[in-house]
Amino acid sequence: MRPIEIQIHQVSGQLGLNITQPNINLKITAPNIEMKTTPVSLDLTIEPPEILIDSKASFESMGLQGTYSFANSLAEEAKQACIQGIEKRVSVMHQMEDPHSGSIGQIIAAASKPREKQLVIGLSPSVRPDISAKLGTIKGTYTPARIDATVKEGTITNNFTWGKVDIYMEREPSIDIKT
């Protein structure tokens, strides 16, 4: 007899893998902050102080006058001179009516004496000037600083795909026995 020869031919099976990786697709939008600032404001209105000096009385005490004051005093003097002149003429007429008062020439000579006017100018005033003051003011308008902000929130968008493993038989196992 012949020995029996058995041949076994074995082919291993082979598995194949299809791997799909997991995928994370993130889209991120950063938040947006818009800021508008208004600076502080201070507006000042200043009214300066005033010093008022009225030296009219001081000048008049020295015999010095302003234009209007001088004109008024001359007008007053002219009025008084006119009244005195009228009174003098009336007095002369009354004297002329009286036959015992003397001759007309004597009456007119006595009435026509020049009038003397005395002008006095001083070197220093006898009356102090009138000094007054008005205080100044400062008014302010204050507006505080301001910050206005607008915030747009950021976004996160997620597109996620799960990973997976597909197993398939790439080669079938087999055993081949031959005698």
Sequence spans of domains, the chain? 1-38+145-179
Taking residues 94-111, what's their average pLDDT? 69
Contact 88, 112 (CB under 8 A): no
| Average pLDDT of the chain to the nearest whole number | 84
Structure confidence by residue, pLDDT tens digits, 116-135: 766 666 567 788 889 999 99
Alpha-carbon span 73 to 81, nearest angstrom? 12
Distances (CA, A) of 96 to 108, 160, 178: 9, 143, 197
- Of all residues in the chain, the percent with pLDDT exceeding 70 is 85
Structure confidence by residue, pLDDT tens digits, 143-167: 999 999 999 998 989 888 999 999 9
Q: Which residues pair with 130 in a beta bridge?
A: 54
Find the helix packing angle between 104-111 and 67-97, rounded to 10°.
160
Q: What is the pLDDT of residue 178?
A: 83
Contact 177, 6 (CB under 8 A): yes
Top-confidence range, 38-47, 51-60, 86-95: 38-47
The model's pTM is 0.33
